[in-house]
Amino acid sequence: MDDTSDFDRESLLLKPVAAYFRRKSFRWQEEELPFYAHRVDLYGFSRVSGRTVAVELKLHKWQRAFAQVILYQLCADYVYIAMPANSIGRVDIDLLKTHGIGLLSIGNGGRCRQILGSEQSTVVCDNYKDIYVNILTKGEEYKW
Partner 1 sequence: MVDPKVIIRMGSHAEKDYIEKTARYLDGIIVGANLFEATPGATATLLGKRLNKPYYIDPMTYAYGRNLDLIKSPQGKTRELDFKRSYKNLSEKLSQPFTSALRKNSRVTPKDFEGGLKTEKCCQAVMEYQLNRIKEKFDEDPEYKEYASDIPNPAAIYAPYFYIEPNNHDAWLDLVLLLAGVSAGLKYDVPVHAIICTDQPMLDYPNFLSKLKSELPRTGVEGVWFWFSDFDELTSDVERLKAFRSLVEDVSKEIKVYNLHGGYFSLSLCKYGLSGVSHGVGYGEQKSVVPVVGAATPTVRYHLPDFHKRLGVPAIQRCFDSLGIKTPDDFHEKICGCVVCKGVVSKDLAEFRLFGDMAYSTPISKRLAQTPAAAKRCRFHFLMNRIRERDELKEKNVEGILAELDAVEEKWSGQVSVKDDMTHLSRWRQALA
> Measured in whole angstroms, how far is the alpha carbon of residue 128 from the centre of its chain?
16
Alpha helices in 8-142 (DSSP H): 11-23, 62-72, 93-98, 126-138
Q: Which of 1, 9, 109, 122 binds partner 1 (CB under 8 A)?
A: 122
Per CB under 8 A, does 143 bind partner 1? yes
Q: Which is nearer to partner 1, 1 or 37 (CB)?
A: 37
Sign of CA dihedral 120, 130, 15, 27: positive
> Contact at 8 Å (CB) between 43 and 30?
yes
74 binds partner 1 (CB under 8 A): yes
Does 99 sit near partner 1 (CB under 8 A)?
yes
Kindly state the number of chain residues that form the binding site for partner 1, as judged by CB under 8 A.
Answer: 19
Binding mask 31-70 for partner 1 (x = CB under 8 A): ---xxxxx----------------------------x--x
